[in-house]
């Protein structure tokens, strides 16, 4: 799967964090960044392509990834948002308490 193409398809969409349901809009997707804006505070955040692709590689190769693993291995400041981005990818499902994402081909 060409994961970055799927991420590019999120441009302009409004997503929510999985547990707290905090809304955010995907403003733009460049060659290197996903740029988003939180609805509650209006702050822009940037998630690197590197972080998104590597988190997806871990998810696809192991079939699962937790939000804690995302935080420790891929994005310590944006793990909730990154989990929501991954959950928006076709074929990814998730469970709450604790947040855990699954990918099945």
Residue 1 has pLDDT above 70, yes or no: no
Phi (first) and psi of residue 100, to 5 degrees: -145, 130
29, β-bridge pairs? 34
d(CA 70, CA 82): 8
Through-space distance between the first and last CA atoms of the chain, rounded to whole angstroms? 10
pLDDT class of 104 with cuts at 50, 70, 90 = confident
3-state secondary structure of 89: coil
Residue 85 has pLDDT above 90, yes or no: yes
* 31-80 residue pLDDT tens: 999 999 999 888 999 999 999 999 999 999 999 999 999 999 999 999 99
3-state helix, strand, coil in the chain (%, to 5): 35, 30, 35
Interacting residues of 2 by C-beta distance below 8 A, sequence separation 6+: none
């Amino acid at each position: 799967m060409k994961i970055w193409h799927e991420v590019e398809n999120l441009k302009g969409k409004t997503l929510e964090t999985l547990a707290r349901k905090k809304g955010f809009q995907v403003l733009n997707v460049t060659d290197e960044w996903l740029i988003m804006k939180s609805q509650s505070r209006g702050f822009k955040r940037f998630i690197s392509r590197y972080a998104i692709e590597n988190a997806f590689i871990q998810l696809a190769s192991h079939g699962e990834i937790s939000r804690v693993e995302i935080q420790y291995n891929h994005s310590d400041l944006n793990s909730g948002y990154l989990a929501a981005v991954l959950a928006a990818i076709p074929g990814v499902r998730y469970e709450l308490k604790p947040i855990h994402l699954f990918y099945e081909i």
